[in-house]
Structure 1
């Protein structure tokens, strides 16, 4: 590690990333006016759904800060654009144009983030107003509230891009990770403060099970399926050279879970505003969303499981392109033993990926 820090470029990237994370934590404590924070935190303690939302906003929700929405609108926009990429030929062509195409899709994602952030801001306001946490705001104050949330969300997207370009790792993923980790000290303190001597056996069991879960996650995440690959005769000896193609068991990583959480929160945000409207049909929809999409509801958990399952397959197909790999192998004179180069190799790789996913 000391050797790495001696390299100016790497050191600057690390320092820049740390600076951005400090700014992110500071933003989580810049409140938006018009809210009773004591009532909000009391409501938060009784709502497991918004405890999850608070984690993903890095504690911004409990402070009703300008980053209360977090990166949820941007994540939702990314999901929608990726779905559209699979069905709209123009977007599919853009995705194949390399860096310039990805930059254009990223631009569309940011544009779509704005209306989604506006909708979610209004939904958040109506939900908290129905719980008596937020007072009835006049139109101008409501507009200030909404645009504060929208601006905060776009600010996070921007600083996430800065980390990606000038820091270390993927900026958006790093901000989500930082938000989750920032809640750990408070959670550990709360857990320890309620711990009693009689709970020692349960604590040991919990720690052991947690370690086993972490080991299992690491094992699966690092697992690969080795596909043997041979290349044509090379050199004076005329011998075949062989290698293997590593296919990760968990191609999608943690992204499907992040996608699923961001989507499953939407019904709970949209439901309360529909309940407040003077239309019977919309009231019925709002009541259904509020009733069946709470974390304790069976429908919520089934929906969440299905989303994780579906997004895992979808994101894997988005990340892993068997057609491109098969084409690259063919150009380099490589082949999988027993499998013809070209379309047959593509089908084989697709089937293997589907099975291990």
Structure 2
């Protein structure tokens, strides 16, 4: 990776893109420290501790939610809108047809996604206002202040969409993903300092050996995440020879790569939303029997930190990973396109048998990837709740996001170097 960045720095055009990306990310982080006045931050920080849904939002916002800066809701409205439109593209024939119309169709869907993200931003800003109100963190309860807070959060979220698009166009990598990446990285120094200072500050008898073991577990999870992010199941495809314009072309052998953890992050986000939604909904009626059961009963699967919660969370991650893979990949369409191009899987008959084979492979890969994503998600929870490292939470989800964004950015830099025939890279 370092050699790739060094080689990219030698190319003037790529050097400009790298510098542009760096300064845009610096400006973005500066915006995270522009606070919304009249908010009691101590009460918000207490709500975002641990592996809760609000804690996850605070993680991908780089602490902007707990500090309640203008970027408190971050780019989550755009992320939600993108996921919803990706699913609607498969469910609605009109959007599916639009997605097949090439670049213009994709631009149209992207435009719809941005419009919907603004609406989601308004709803999420209102929900955020309701949360801080219920938490007692808001000092001014006037309607004018409510309007100003919702307007500020929505405008800042819309600005981040434009900000991410500019990084994608003039910088390196996907702008939206890089914003999430830099937010997660910004939390590392604080977590590192907390762990290092535990032997002096903790009353649980934590020693330096336990701290070293903690870092060893984190390093092992990181290495496993890198390996699984690079792992893929390759479905072999053979294309028959054909004659074009009187010239004979030989057959070619290739493959269809299927990433093992391609849908892992989506599955974790869906599972986390399902597990945390009843608790957030119950906060509307804090004295109801429903909220008292899900928050106080030791048998409740919605109580964070309990074994029923962890097991149910793990199973939901596997289910949503499998579900998202089944929805996004279309074995019938893949088999049809393969047949039209005179391609076939060795040993498998074209048509329906090919579609069944691809579906079987996707099912196995999605379940395996879901199990790995589930382990990555629950191991930090177990460490944070069942060991002496209570209160120290490092998200397994953040590892998947960090590794995925880093690998994708490196691939884009390498492709740019190959396009420019950079010999230093080719050697």
User: Hey, what does 1:254 align to over in structure 2?
Assistant: 265
**1:200 maps onto 2:208 in alignment:** yes
Where does structure 1 lack aligned partners over 5 or more consecutive residues? none
Residue 279 (structure 2) pairs with residue 275 (structure 1): no
Distance of aligned partners of 1:230 and 1:77 in 2 relative to their CA distance in 1, 3 Å threshold = closer
Does the 8 Å contact 2:58/2:64 carry over to 1? yes
Match of 1:347 among 346, 356, 359: 356
Check the 8 A contact 2:38/2:140 in 1, yes or no.
Answer: no
Residue 315 of structure 1, CA deviation: 3.6
**Alignment partner for residue 90 of structure 1, among 73, 79, 94?**
94
Shift in Å, 1:254:
3.0
Within a 5 Å distance, the mapping from 1:1-357 to structure 2 comes to 1-41=5-45, 43-44=46-47, 49=52, 50-196=54-200, 199-233=207-241, 241-258=252-269, 260-261=271-272, 269-272=280-283, 274-275=284-285, 295-296=304-305, 301=310, 304-305=313-314, 307-317=316-326, 319-357=328-366
Distance in 2 separating the partners of 1:148 and 1:300: 36
How many positions carry a matched residue from both structures? 350
The CA distance in 2 between the partners of 1:289 and 1:121, in whole Å, is 26
TM norm structure 2? 0.71
Do the aligned partners of residues 23 and 70 (structure 1) sit closer, same or farther apart at CA in structure 2, a change above 3 Å counting? same
Unpaired segments ≥5 residues, structure 2: 367-427
Looking at structure 1, the residues matched to 217 and 176 of structure 2 have their Cα atoms a distance apart, in angstroms, of: 30
Cα-to-partner distance string for 1:89-128 (whole Å, 9 max, x where unaligned): 2122222223222222222222222332222222222222
Change (3 A) 1:233 1:87: closer
The whole-number CA distance in structure 1 between the counterparts of 2:114 and 2:28 is: 19
Deviation per residue, 1:65-91 (Å, 9 max, x gap): 111011222222223223333322212
Change beyond 3 A, Cα 1:87–1:200: same
- CA–CA distance in 1 between the matches of 2:142 and 2:309? 34
* Distance change >3 Å, CA 294–CA 317, structure 1 → 2: same
Cα distance in structure 1, aligned partners of 2:90 and 2:308: 28
Distance 1:214-1:39 versus aligned 2 partners, 3 A rule:
closer
Question: Which deviates more, 286-295 or 95-104?
Answer: 286-295
Q: 1:151 to 1:306 in 2, by over 3 A?
A: farther
More displaced stretch, 299-308 vs 105-114: 299-308
Q: Distance in 1 between matches of 2:324 and 2:75?
A: 18
> What do the CA deviations read for 1:44-79 (whole angstroms, capped 9, x no partner)?
476653433321211111221111011222222223
Q: Distance in 2 between matches of 1:249 and 1:265?
A: 26
Contact 1:271 1:285 in 2 (8 A): yes
Q: Is the 8 A contact 2:166 2:175 kept in 1?
A: yes
The alignment's C-alpha RMSD in Å is 3.2
* 8 Å contact from structure 1 (residues 164, 170) kept in 2: yes
Q: Contact 1:267–1:290 at 8 Å: present in 2 too?
A: no
